[in-house]
Chain A
Amino acid sequence: MDFPTFVFFFLSAILIFASLRVITARNPVHAALHLILAFFTCGGIWSLLQAEFLAIAIILVYVGAVMVLFLFVVMMLDINIDRIRQGFWQYLPLGALLGFLMVAEMGLVLGSKYFQVPAADAVLPAGISNTKSIGALMFSDYVYPFELASIILLVGMIAAIVLTYRGAKQSKYTSPSRQVFVKAKDRVRVLQMPVEKD
C-alpha cells in the first residue's frame, strides 16, 4: 500500500466515524462538531484527488460559515432531543425498507456503464492549478450564470430585509437643545380637585 492509498483509507475511516457520530450523538452540539470533522476530512479526500479548490471551498464555506451558524442555532435553541427521538424504533423498519428500495432502484437504472462523461477530461496539464482554471472559466465561459447567481444573492438580501426590517428602533436618547427650551408649564399641570371622601 503506497502512501496516498494509506492516507485515503485513514481519512475515510475518520469520515465514516464522524458521519456516524453525527446521527448517533445524543448531544446536538457534539453532533454539529462531528459534522465539522466530517466536512474537514471530506476536504482532505478532495485535495487527495487534486481538487484543491473544492477542498478549500468546503472548509471555508461549510466549516467556516455554515457550521458556525449551525452551532449558534443549536446553542441558542433549547432542543429536546428525547422528544425528537420518540418512536425512532417504531419507524425504523419501514424507513429502512423504503430507503433501501430507493437506493436499489436508482442503482439499477443508473449503473455506471450508462454514463458517458469521460473521466480523463478532469486531468489538467502540470503547472496549472484547478483554482486558476475554475476562475478562468467562471469569468469567461460561465460569466453569464455567474452574474445571474450574484443577482440571485442580491434578491435574497433584499427579500430578507423587506421581510424583517420594521423601521428604525425608537432609541431613548435625550436632546439637550430641546431640554434647554422646556418651560415649566409644558411639563407640570396643576389641577384643582375636590378632596375625596371615603
Chain B
Amino acid sequence: MFDNFVVPDLLPAAPELFLAAMACVLLLVDLLVKDQRRTVTFALTQLTLVGCFIIQFATSNGQIAYTFSNMFVDDLMADLLKLFLYMTVIMVLFYSRGYIIEREAMNKGEYYILALFATLGMMVMISANHFLTVYLGLELLSLSLYAMVAMNRDSVVSTEAAMKYFVLGALASGLLLYGMSMIYGATGTLEITGVAERIAMGGVNKTVLVFGLVFLVAGLAFKLGVVPFHMWIPDVYHGAPTAVTLFIGSAPKLAAFAITMRMLVNGLLALAVDWQAMLIILAVLSMAIGNLAAIAQTNLKRMLAYSAISHMGFMLLGIVSGVVGGRVDPNLVLNAYSSSMFYVVAYVLMSAGSFGMILLLARAGFESDNLEDFKGLNKRSPWFAGMMLMLMFSMAGIPFFVGFFAKFAVLQAVVISGYVWLAVVAVAFSLVGAFYYLRVVKLMYFDQPTDASPISAPMDTRILVSANALVVALLGLFPGDLVHLCTLALAQSL
C-alpha cells in the first residue's frame, strides 16, 4: 500500500506553503526582536503577504487544478479571492499598527503571527474541495480570531466577547460538522466535486441530504452572521479591540463567501431549490433586523455590526437568484453569483475603510467608537470628514459610489430571476438603512465638536484610509473592470 504513493503537485498550493513556512519562521524571529515597536515582525509579516500576492499572481493560469488527492482546488475564483484577501490583510495590519502600539497588552509579535495564521485559514477555506478542509480552514481561522479578540485580556468587555465568540463559534462548527456527516452518510464521500457527481448519478436519498443541508446552512449562517444566527456579531464587534474588529469585519467575509460557493454551488447545486428557500428567509430577516436594530445604536462599532448583518443578507440575495425553477441556466448562474462576489468585495473595502476611520481617530486611552465622537469632525479635519462621508454614502448605496453598483448588480440579478418582491423588500430596507449612515454624516457636518483635539494618527494610516475611501469613490465611477473580473473568475471556475 506504500508503493503507489505519488508526491502531490505542490505548485497550486505554493502561496499556502510559503505563508505557513514564513509564519513559523516569524515565530522564531520574533523571539529575538528586542524592539518594543515590533518593527521587524511587522515588516516581515507584510513582506510575507506581499510575497504570497506575487506567488499567487505568478502561478495563476486560469486552469482548474486539483491537488492533495483532490482536497485542494486552485481556480480563478480562488486566485482572485486570495489576491483580494492579501490586499485586505495588508491594509488591515497597516491600520491596526498604530492602535496596538499604544495598547500594551496587544503590542506583541503574536498579534501579527496570529493574523498570518488566520489568513492561512481563510486561504484554505477559499481553496477547499473537501468538507474536511473546509472545516479545518474554518477552525484555523476561528481559533486565531478567538485569541486575537481575547488578547486585550485585562479588559472585561474583550474577554466576555471572546468567550461568547468561542462558545457560539464552537456551536456553529458543531452544526456544520453534523451537516457534513449527514451528507457523507447520504453520498459516501466528503469530496465536494465527488458529492455533486454522486447526486448526479442518482440513487441518493434526498431526505438525508436535505436534513444535512439544513445543518450546513445553519452553520454557514453562523459564520456569515445572518439572522437568526447573528447574536454574536454585535457583542463581538463591540467587545473586541477595534483593530481586531476591523480584521473580523473585513477579510473573513471573503472566505465565508468562498465556502458558501464551494459547498452550496459546487457541491449541492442539485439541491438549489431547497437551499435557496432557506437563504431567502435568512436574507430577508437579516436585512430587516440588521437595518432596524442599527438605528437604535449609539456605538459606531455596534452600528457597523448590525450593518454587516444587513449587508450579508443583501449579499445572499445574489446567491439565491442563481437557479430558477430547478433549471440551471449557465448565464443566469454566472450573473447571479458574480454579482454576489462583487458585492462581497465592495463590502470588504467599505467595511475596512469605516473601521479604519475609527482607528484613525482613536488614541491611547480613547477608543473613539461612539457616534458622539464623530460630532463636528468637519471642524477638526475637513479632509477625513469627507472621506468618512464617502464611505457612509457608499455603505448606504447612494450613487455613484461602489456600494450603489454592488447593490444594483445584486438587485438586477434578483429581478432577472423573477423575485420582484424580494427586490422590493431589499430596496425598502436599504432605504431604512440609509437613515443611520446619513446620521453619521449629519453628526460630522452639522453638530459642534465635543472634543477639539487634533488627529494624532501616523502618516501611513492617514494615507491608507484616504486611499481606501478614494478607491471606494473611484470604483463607483468605474465599476466595470471589477465586475468584469468577478464574472471572468466565476466563468472559469463554475
Chain A residues proximal to chain B, CB less than 8 Å: 109-110, 114-118, 128, 132-133, 136, 140-145, 148-149, 151-152, 154-156, 158-159, 161-163
Cβ 8 A contact of A149, one of B120, B136, B144, B188: B136
* Interchain nearest-CB distance for B175 vs A (Å): 14
Q: In the complex, which residues of chain B have a beta carbon less than 8 angstroms from the beta carbon of A114?
A: 185-186, 205, 207-208
Tell me, in angstroms, the Cα distance from A145 to B130 when the chains sit together: 10
Q: Compute how far the CA of A152 lies from the CA of B137 in the bound complex, rounded to whole angstroms.
A: 9
Nearest A residue to B111, CB-CB: A162
Residue of A nearest to B189 (CB): A117
B165 within 8 A of A: no
**In the complex where A109-B211, A117-B188, A151-B140 touch, is A159 in contact with B133 (Cβ < 8 A)?**
no
Q: How large is the interface on B (under 10, 10 to 19, 20 to 34, 35 or more residues)?
A: 35 or more
The reply to whether B113 and A158 form a contact with Cβ atoms under 8 Å apart is: yes
| Given A116-B204, A148-B140, A162-B110 contact (CB < 8 Å) | yes
Cross-interface CB contact of A142 among B69, B144, B187, B188, cutoff 8 Å: B69
Q: Mark B1-29 against chain A: 1 for CB-CB distance below 8 A, else 0.
A: 11001001000000000001000100100
B147 adjacent to A162 (CB under 8 Å): yes
For residue B135, give the distance in angstroms from its CB to the closest CB of chain A: 9
**In the bound complex, CA of A117 to CA of B124 (Å):** 28
CA distance A144 to B208 in the complex (A): 28
Q: Does B478 contact A (CB under 8 A)?
A: no
The answer to the question of B99 belonging to the interface, with a C-beta cut-off of 8 Å to chain A, is no
- Please tell me if the beta carbons of A145 and B133 are within 8 angstroms of each other in the complex: yes
A187 to chain B minimum Cβ distance, whole angstroms, is 32
Q: Give A143 to B133 CA distance when docked, in angstroms.
A: 11
Interface majority SS (helix, strand, loop, mixed), chain A: helix
Among all A-B residue pairs, the 9 with the closest Cβ atoms: A159-B147, A144-B68, A148-B136, A141-B69, A114-B205, A162-B110, A115-B185, A114-B208, A145-B132
CB distance from A30 to the nearest CB of B (A): 29
Give A193 to B86 CA distance when docked, in angstroms.
70
Which residues from 117 to 160 on chain B have a C-beta closer than 8 Å to any C-beta of chain A?
117, 120, 124, 130, 132-133, 136-137, 139-140, 143-144, 146-147, 150-151, 153
Cross-interface CB contact of A144 among B1, B5, B71, B188, cutoff 8 Å: B71
Minimum CB–CB distance for B283 against chain A, Å = 26
| Given A159-B114, A163-B153, 14 additional A-B pairs, CB 8 A | A114-B186, A114-B205, A114-B208, A115-B205, A116-B185, A116-B186, A142-B71, A144-B8, A144-B69, A148-B140, A151-B117, A159-B146, A163-B147, A163-B151
B residues adjacent to A (C-beta < 8 A): 1-2, 5, 8, 20, 24, 27, 68-69, 71-72, 108, 110, 113-114, 117, 120, 124, 130, 132-133, 136-137, 139-140, 143-144, 146-147, 150-151, 153, 182, 184-188, 203-205, 207-208, 211
Residues of A contacting B186 in the complex (Cβ-Cβ under 8 angstroms): 114-116
In the complex, the number of residue pairs spanning A and B with C-beta atoms less than 8 Å apart equals 96
List the A side residues contacting B24 at CB < 8 Å: 154
Point out the residues of chain B lying under 8 angstroms from A149, CB to CB.
136
- B67 and chain A: residue at smallest CB distance: A144
Contact B8 A143 (CB under 8 A): yes
Q: Which residues of B contact A152 (CB under 8 A)?
A: 136, 139-140, 143
**Min distance, Cβ B419 to any Cβ of chain A, angstroms:** 30
A145 touches B71 (CB 8 A): yes
Chain B residues near A148: list those with CB within 8 A: 124, 133, 136-137, 140
Q: Chain A residue with minimal CB distance to B17?
A: A147
Known: A143-B8, A144-B71, A145-B71. A159 touches B205 (CB 8 A): no
Which of chain B's residues have a CB closer than 8 A to the CB of A154? 24, 117
A72 to B492, CA, bound (A): 56
Contact between A158 and B27, CB atoms less than 8 A apart? yes
Interface hub of A114, A116, A155 (most chain B Cβ within 10 A): A155
Query: Would you call B120 and A162 a contact (CB within 8 A)?
Result: no
- Docked pose: A142 CA to B71 CA in angstroms: 8
**A109 CA / B204 CA spacing, docked (Å):** 15
Q: Are A144 and B72 in contact (CB under 8 A)?
A: yes
Provide the residues of chain B in CB contact with A110, threshold 8 Å. Answer: 182, 185, 208, 211
User: Is there an interface contact between B185 and A117, defined as CB atoms closer than 8 Å?
Assistant: yes
B184: chain A residues within 8 A (beta carbon): 117
**Residue in chain A with minimal CB distance to B146:** A159
Complex Cα gap A161–B147 (Å): 10
Q: How far is the CA of A132 from the CA of B133 in the complex (A)?
A: 23
Cβ–Cβ contact A151 & B211, under 8 A: no
Q: Choose one: A116, A143, A158, A159; the contact of B187 (CB below 8 Å).
A: A116
A-B contact pairs, 20 of them (CB 8 A): A109-B208, A116-B187, A116-B188, A136-B1, A142-B69, A142-B132, A144-B8, A144-B68, A148-B133, A148-B137, A152-B140, A154-B24, A155-B117, A155-B143, A155-B144, A155-B147, A158-B114, A159-B114, A159-B143, A159-B146
B373 vs chain A, min Cβ distance (A)? 29
For residue B151, which residues in chain A have a CB less than 8 angstroms away from its CB?
A: 162-163
Q: How far is the CB of A198 from chain B (nearest CB, A)?
A: 47
**When chains A and B are docked, how far (Å) is the Cα of A148 from the Cα of B132?**
10
Is the CB–CB distance between A116 and B205 below 8 Å?
A: yes
A155-B208 contact given A143-B8, A144-B133, A163-B150, CB 8 Å threshold: no
A18 to B432, CA, bound (A): 59
Is B144 touching A159 in the complex (CB atoms < 8 A)? yes
Bound Cα distance A114, B207 (Å): 8
The smallest C-beta distance from B127 to any residue of chain A, in angstroms, reads 10
A181 to B195, CA, bound (A): 78
What residues of B have a CB within 8 angstroms of the CB of A133 in the complex?
1
> How many angstroms from the CA of A140 to the CA of B137 in the assembled complex?
19
A109 → B minimal CB distance (Å): 5
Q: Which residue of B lies closest to A164 (CB)?
A: B153
Residues of B within 8 A of A159 (CB): 114, 143-144, 146-147
Chain B: which residue is nearest A115 at the CB level?
B185
Cβ of A75 to closest chain B Cβ, rounded Å: 25
Alpha-carbon gap, A49 to B5, bound state (A): 28
Q: With the chains together, A115 CA to B186 CA distance in Å?
A: 6
Q: Which residues of B contact A145 (CB under 8 A)?
A: 71, 130, 132-133, 136
Contact B68 A162 (CB under 8 A): no
Chain B's closest residue to A148 (CB) is B136
